[in-house]
């Protein structure tokens, strides 16, 4: 059988219209622009309108990716959606997206790997394509984190934003496409970054709402250190696996968590100026959406050329982390 690779043939993204600046946050919690900017590199983030759900953001990004790819919804065999803020606990948001876009021939499921979700989703879809089980997949990262943020917690509410990014993957013979994927997890660290309620451990209750269980909890310092280490390690693992030197990577797309985390990874990997794509200053941390959002931005800016080696590098709750190497 010919060697089939999963190639990205279209990208798309969507950011809600409303922008929340650090100055806006000054009016909401005890914080200030200088602190947020210096500690996180974030200046503003987008917030979904009340009428917008995660599936709406996903659909907007998906339609743009399909337009660029020149693919109609009926030609999509699989919708894989990375999110931790689905429209409902179930059914999957991927199913809602499949219906809204009219991808009537596609299977659909969500991937739950927090901020690593897009890399996990891409890796899964790529395997289906490589085995010939599927020809075209829509891989989406979409989040409305603003609905699970505790807007009274200044440690977390300053970090996150809403958004979506999508790619169309197509199986093609040749050298271009996903070259390797590397996924990891350490479930012993789940309590450092999670949303306690409401699931089977803490079912819905009035007292649970009073205890603010439906909101994201994070031990920022521990997450910070683990993120830098894991993103560095998995990038190195990917380079070694493919016999590459970091100078051969045209662009690295990290999960956009915090400017200081990205600087730490960049320094350890000895990246040159501009080698890492960063938009956390304008989007904040959009979890599973951050990598495809950044990828689409860079694509529209003409920063990605055929043949370029592109490294995706993510870390998130679980803990989960992973990387994917692509030849554009």
Task: Give the active site residues.
Answer: 115, 255, 285
Stretch in the footprint of ligand UT7 (CB under 6 A) among 66-74, 222-230, 232-240, 242-250: 222-230
DSSP string across 224-288:
HHHHHHHHHHHHHHHHHHTT--GGG-SEEEE--S-HHHHHHHHHHHTPPTTSB---HHHH-B-GG
Give the angle subtended at the CA of 93 by the CAs of 217 and 327, to the nearest 5°. Answer: 90
Q: How far apart are CA 80 and CA 138, in angstroms?
A: 6
Query: CB–CB of 176/17 below 8 Å?
Result: no
Q: Please, which residue, 66 or 164, has the CB nearer to ligand UT7?
A: 164
User: CA–CA separation, 81 vs 115, rounded Å?
Assistant: 12
**Which candidate, 165, 167, 310, 177, places its Cα nearest to that of 252?**
310
Give the binding range for ligand UT7 (CB under 6 A) out of 3-11, 31-39, 161-169, 276-284: 31-39
Q: Are 227 and 282 in contact (CB under 8 A)?
A: no
154 lines the binding site for ligand UT7 (CB under 6 A): yes
Q: What is the contact mask toward ligand UT7 in residues 250 to 279, using x (rule: CB under 6 A)?
A: -----x-xx--x------------------
Eight-class DSSP state of 321: E
Residue 195 or 285 with smaller CB distance to ligand UT7: 285
Kindly tell me which residue out of 31, 43, 189, 275 binds ligand UT7, with binding defined by CB under 6 A. Answer: 31
Among 55, 93, 176, 285, binds ligand UT7 (CB under 6 A): 285
27 binds ligand UT7 (CB under 6 A): no
Compute the least distance from the CB of residue 114 to ligand UT7, in Å. Answer: 7
* Cβ neighbours of residue 235 closer than 8 Å, sequence gap 6 or more: 246, 252, 265, 269, 311, 313, 323
CB of 66 or CB of 216, closer to ligand UT7: 216
35 binds ligand UT7 (CB under 6 A): yes
Number of residues that bind ligand UT7 (CB under 6 A): 22
Rg of the chain (C-alpha set):
19
For residue 210, report the phi and psi dihedrals to the nearest 5 degrees: -60, -35
Structure tokens at 310: 């592109």
If phi over 0 gives left and psi between -120 and 50 gives alpha, with beta otherwise, what is residue 197?
beta
Q: Which is nearer to ligand UT7, 31 or 112 (CB)?
A: 31
Residue showing the smallest CB distance to ligand UT7 in the complex: 220
Sites for ligand UT7 among residues 171-210 (CB under 6 A) = none
Binding mask 299-318 for ligand UT7 (x = CB under 6 A): -----------------x--
Q: Contacting ligand UT7 (CB under 6 A), which of 223, 265, 310, 326? A: 223
Site string for ligand UT7, 37-76 (x = CB under 6 A): --xx------------------------------------
Q: Does 283 bind ligand UT7 (CB under 6 A)?
A: no
Stretch that binds ligand UT7, among 68-76, 87-95, 100-108, 154-162 (CB under 6 A): 154-162
Segment near ligand UT7 (CB under 6 A); pick from 11-19, 32-40, 48-56, 67-75: 32-40
Q: Give which of 183, 206, 180, 209 is closest to 196, Cα–Cα.
A: 209
CB of 278 to ligand UT7, least distance (A): 14
Cβ-defined contacts of 266-273 (< 8 Å, 24+): 268/228, 268/232, 269/232, 269/235, 269/236, 270/246, 271/246, 272/247
Q: Rule CB under 6 A: which residues touch ligand UT7?
A: 31, 35-36, 39-40, 115, 154-155, 158-159, 218, 220-221, 223-224, 227, 255, 257-258, 261, 285, 316
């Amino acid at each position: 059988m010919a060697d089939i690779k999963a190639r990205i043939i279209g990208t798309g993204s969507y950011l809600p219209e409303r922008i929340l600046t650090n100055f806006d946050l000054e009016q909401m919690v005890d914080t200030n622009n200088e602190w947020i900017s210096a500690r996180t590199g974030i200046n503003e983030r987008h917030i979904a309108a009340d009428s917008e759900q995660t599936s709406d953001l996903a659909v907007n990004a998906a339609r743009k990716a399909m337009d660029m790819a020149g693919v109609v919804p009926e030609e999509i065999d699989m919708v894989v959606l990375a999110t931790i803020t689905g429209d409902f606990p179930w059914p999957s948001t991927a199913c809602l997206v499949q219906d809204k876009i009219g991808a009537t021939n596609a299977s659909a499921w969500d991937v739950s790997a927090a901020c690593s979700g897009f890399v996990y989703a891409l890796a899964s879809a790529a395997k289906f394509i490589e085995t010939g089980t599927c020809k075209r997949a829509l891989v989406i990262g979409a989040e409305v984190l603003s609905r699970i943020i505790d807007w009274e917690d200044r440690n977390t509410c300053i970090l996150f934003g809403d958004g979506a990014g999508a790619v169309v993957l197509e199986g093609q013979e040749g050298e271009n496409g996903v070259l390797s994927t590397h996924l990891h997890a350490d479930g012993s660290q789940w309590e450092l970054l999670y949303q306690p309620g409401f699931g089977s451990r803490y079912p819905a209750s009035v007292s649970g709402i009073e205890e603010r269980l439906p909101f994201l909890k994070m031990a920022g310092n521990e997450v910070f250190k683990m993120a830098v280490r894991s993103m560095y390690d998995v990038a190195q693992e990917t380079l070694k696996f493919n016999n590459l030197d970091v100078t051969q990577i045209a662009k690295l797309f990290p999960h956009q968590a915090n400017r200081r985390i990205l600087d730490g990874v960049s320094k350890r990997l000895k990246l040159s100026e501009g080698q890492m794509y960063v938009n956390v200053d304008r989007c904040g941390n959009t979890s599973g959406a951050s990598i495809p959002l950044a990828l689409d931005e860079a694509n529209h800016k003409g920063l990605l050329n055929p043949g370029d080696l592109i490294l995706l590098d993510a870390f998130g709750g679980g803990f989960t982390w992973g990387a994917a190497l692509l030849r554009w």
